[in-house]
């Protein structure tokens, strides 16, 4: 049976939405508070962590979730290489890691649990949550990327694609520590786990406008 650790990775220095994890959503609750509460309620996982460097984030820790201390180099502005961003994984005992996205405040715990249970029973070594979308796409050169020029551009007959939601990302700890990458990015690695969540559940706070929308919905 797989042993699994679920980890909330968080930092203060978000360039597109500064300090988003610690900003009040309306009743004193924050993105990091919601994420910690959700993770604390999950079952069928062996370890639960908040991976953080900033003391302001660590101060929000709750019972049932432990702290993984990160280096400043892993959280400073910009994108650190994986060998720095994930060096704290050496302290994790479990064989598999789940990266939990703390920027989706409306995801239901039961939906998260369903995906985790599926992965634990599966033979997959890596996986990522995706949503099924039907649309037509062009690449950076304005060339059709998933349809032929003579195809009919219909919203009811177009090709289906899978778009990553980044809600949960599953990978082998040792694969990461050996190669410093999440997974091979080949067929079924990561395996796309199709989810059918509401639009609100898939709101991902990356930019200022996202935070304003999340705050508006939170206070409805």
What's the predicted TM-score (pTM) here? 0.93
- What pLDDT does residue 138 have? 87
Q: What per-residue confidence (pLDDT) applies to 147? A: 81
Quote the CATH superfamily of domain 4-128+166-218.
Spore Coat Polysaccharide Biosynthesis Protein SpsA; Chain A (3.90.550.10)
CA-closest candidate to residue 165, choices 136, 127, 139: 127
Alpha-helix residue ranges (DSSP H) falling in the chain: 31-41, 55-58, 82-85, 109-121, 173-179, 208-218
As a whole number of angstroms, the distance between CA 172 and CA 96 comes to 5
Residue 31 contacts residue 18 (beta carbons within 8 Å): no
Average pLDDT across the chain, whole number: 94
pLDDT computed for residue 118 by the predictor: 98
- Torsion sign over Cα 173, 11, 191, 139: negative
What are the domain boundaries of the chain? 4-128+166-218
With 0-12 CB in 10 A as exposed, 13-18 as middle and 19+ as buried, what is 37? middle
- In tens, the pLDDT along 44-83 reads 999 999 999 999 999 999 999 999 999 999 998 888 899 9
Read off the pLDDT of residues 16-49 as tens digits, 9 standing for 90 and up. 899 999 999 989 999 999 999 999 999 999 999 9
Task: Give the residue-averaged pLDDT of 79-108.
Answer: 96
pLDDT at 152: 75
pLDDT at site 149: 72
């Amino acid at each position: 049976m797989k042993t699994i650790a679920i980890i909330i990775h968080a930092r203060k220095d978000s360039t597109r939405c500064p300090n988003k994890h610690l900003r009040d959503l309306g009743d004193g609750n924050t993105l990091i508070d919601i994420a910690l509460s959700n993770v604390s309620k999950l079952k069928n996982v062996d370890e639960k962590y908040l991976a953080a460097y900033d003391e302001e984030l660590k101060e929000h820790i709750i019972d049932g979730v432990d702290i993984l201390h990160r280096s400043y180099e892993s959280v400073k502005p910009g994108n650190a290489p994986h060998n720095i961003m994930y060096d704290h994984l050496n302290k994790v005992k479990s064989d598999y890691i789940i990266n939990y996205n703390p920027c989706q405040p409306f995801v239901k715990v039961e939906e998260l649990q369903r995906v985790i249970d599926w992965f634990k029973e599966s033979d997959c070594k890596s996986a990522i949550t995706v949503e099924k979308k039907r649309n037509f796409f062009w690449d950076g050169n304005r060339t059709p990327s998933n349809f032929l020029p003579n195809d009919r551009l219909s919203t009811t007959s177009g090709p289906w694609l899978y778009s990553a939601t980044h809600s949960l990302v599953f990978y082998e700890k040792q694969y990461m520590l050996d190669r410093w990458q999440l997974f091979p990015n080949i067929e079924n690695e990561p395996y796309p786990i199709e989810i059918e969540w509401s639009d609100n559940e898939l709101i991902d706070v990356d930019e200022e406008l996202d935070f304003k929308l999340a705050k508006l919905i939170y206070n409805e």
